[in-house]
Amino acid sequence: MNAPEPRHDHALPEHPRLSRRFRLQFEEAQQRHVLLYPEGMVQLNDTAAEIIRRCDGSRTVDGIVNDLESTYRVQGIAPQVRNLIEEGLRRGWIE
């Protein structure tokens, strides 16, 4: 099985969700969140994991931003959230 075909259009989906080919989980041995897929694993930092965890298909990008800003009491993180979702689209993690 080959790695997912990366996307090259950078339009964000209305309700981003993790691709069914990936599973987000905390890896005890590495003490970090990872994305698992049939051919391997992608290590994530805590911020990326929190963003991807919210990409469940039920929230808009703005909803994800609002939830993160409220949870962590920060403002102005929309560009970083959008950048990570765009990268996830490009790499096939997000659909």
Q: Write down the domain spans for the chain.
A: 23-91
Distance of CA 70 to the CA centre of its chain: 18
β 32-37/40-43 pair status: antiparallel
Global pTM?
A: 0.86
Q: Is the pLDDT of residue 9 over 60?
A: no
The per-residue pLDDT for 69 is 98
pLDDT band at 29 (very low <50, low <70, confident <90, very high): very high
Q: Is the pLDDT of residue 11 over 90?
A: no
